[in-house]
């Protein structure tokens, strides 16, 4: 018996390379793009371990949990790490980065998360990139949550290592990811004796066994289903138009934010300024006396498919996430989420204005 997920023809090297080329066009980059055969944590960790080590002084910008993880990896590599911790309700600024370079001119590596879906903020990468470029530091960017929701332009921003994943705004699979690598970053890896080699974390292995050979023979069997799903999701973005996809996410964010404010009951945006709020997901602060995780659980009881989640770790008590990305970047998903949250708040005896919230959300959708 046949099955659509089984008995597939082998994925050729030429087709694999064509998917890489399409991802490169999505990022408007001329850098090498490597599709890694695993979730985005694979190239995120591999890129740090490949380029950082003893002698590296790294500025690690923390605007959410992933920034904290990057600092751990950098320290594990032997790098000297200067953490710039920014309150999760805001974004980093170019002035903060400039001040860090002034205080620590030895910084040669900067790690930054573009958009933190976990905290709902987005950082001004173009402005920060200008500062990093002035100081000739290597620039590492996690754009997993931002790609497809807002512009991601490694070449224009001077990003040396840009990691993306397809599982959020791109609406694709989680099992493969990609990284664009500048010539400077390749040179840094080649000169780093501690860079992973003959390892699943190794970007150098992909360069030597895949890129340097003209992308004629794959170094190992590819994750076929995930590659086909990635190809399909890029095709869909191309058909819709990247600007259209990004506009849909911006509208979902604006509608969710406006609707939550109008809903009342003390519910408010977690990220204070709308311009610092990520289009990929909106985070909300639960009303005083309400545990966010309990409120979300009650809202999901009406429909477990709603794109709602509580914040992770300690944030579970105060943060609600509306994950309006990918297939959920729609007016219907925003409306259903506001309705479920309104009902859960009303059950607790709080005064909500659901009609006003839905109206505000509809008016904010642009």
Residues that constitute the known binding site for substrate: 321
Q: Name the binding residues.
A: 321
Cα separation, 163 vs 220, in Å, equals: 21
| φ/ψ bin of 326: left (φ > 0), alpha (ψ from -120 to 50), beta (otherwise) | left
Cα separation, 255 vs 330, in Å, equals: 10
Q: Which are the contacts of 3, defined by CB distance < 8 A and separation ≥ 6?
A: none
Pairing of strands 115-116, 121-122: antiparallel
For the chain, helix, strand, coil in percent to 5 are 45, 15, 40
Asked if 164 contacts 144 with a C-beta cutoff of 8 angstroms, the reply is yes
Q: Give burial (CB, 10 Å; 0-12/13-18/19+) of 224.
A: middle
Q: Which of 364, 313, 359, 322 shows the shortest CA–CA distance to 340?
A: 322
Cα separation, 312 vs 118, in Å, equals: 7
Asked if 60 contacts 71 with a C-beta cutoff of 8 angstroms, the reply is yes
Q: How far is CA 277 from CA 27, 32, 315, in A?
A: 22, 30, 17
Q: Which are the contacts of 19, defined by CB distance < 8 A and separation ≥ 6?
A: 35, 227, 230, 231, 234
Asked if 339 contacts 333 with a C-beta cutoff of 8 angstroms, the reply is no
Cα separation, 329 vs 250, in Å, equals: 9
């Amino acid at each position: 018996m046949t099955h659509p997920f089984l008995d597939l023809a082998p994925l050729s090297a030429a087709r694999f390379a064509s998917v890489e080329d399409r991802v490169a066009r999505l990022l408007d980059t001329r850098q090498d793009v490597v599709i890694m055969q695993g979730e985005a944590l694979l190239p995120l960790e591999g890129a740090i371990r490949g380029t950082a080590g003893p002698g590296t002084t790294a500025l690690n910008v923390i605007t959410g949990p992933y920034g904290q993880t990057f600092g751990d990896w950098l320290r594990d590599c032997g790098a000297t790490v200067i953490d710039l911790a920014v309150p999760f309700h805001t974004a980093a600024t170019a002035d903060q980065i400039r001040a860090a370079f002034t205080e620590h001119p030895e910084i040669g590596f900067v790690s930054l998360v573009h958009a933190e879906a976990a905290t709902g903020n987005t950082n001004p990468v173009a402005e920060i990139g200008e500062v990093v470029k002035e100081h000739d530091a290597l620039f590492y960017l996690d754009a997993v949550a931002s790609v497809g929701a807002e512009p991601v332009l490694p070449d224009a921003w001077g990003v040396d290592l840009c990691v993306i994943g397809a599982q959020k705004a791109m609406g694709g699979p989680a099992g493969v990811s990609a990284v664009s690598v500048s010539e400077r970053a390749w040179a840094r890896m080649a000169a780093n004796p501690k860079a992973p080699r003959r390892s699943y974390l190794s970007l150098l292995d992909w360069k030597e066994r895949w890129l340097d050979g003209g992308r004629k023979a794959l170094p190992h069997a590819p994750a076929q289903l995930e590659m086909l799903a990635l190809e399909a999701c890029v095709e869909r973005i191309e058909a819709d138009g990247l600007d259209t996809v990004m506009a849909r996410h911006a509208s979902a964010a604006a509608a969710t934010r406006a609707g939550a404010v109008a809903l009342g009951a003390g519910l408010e945006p977690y990220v204070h300024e709308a311009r610092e709020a990520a289009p990929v997901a909106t985070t909300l602060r639960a009303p005083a006396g309400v545990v966010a995780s309990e409120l979300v659980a009650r809202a999901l009881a009406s429909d477990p498919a709603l794109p709602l989640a509580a914040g992770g770790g300690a944030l579970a008590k105060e943060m609600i996430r509306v994950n309006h990305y990918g297939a959920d970047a729609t007016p219907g998903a925003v409306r259903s989420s506001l309705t479920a949250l309104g009902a859960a708040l009303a059950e607790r005896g709080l005064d909500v204005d659901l009609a006003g919230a839905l109206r505000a959300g509809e008016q904010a959708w642009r």
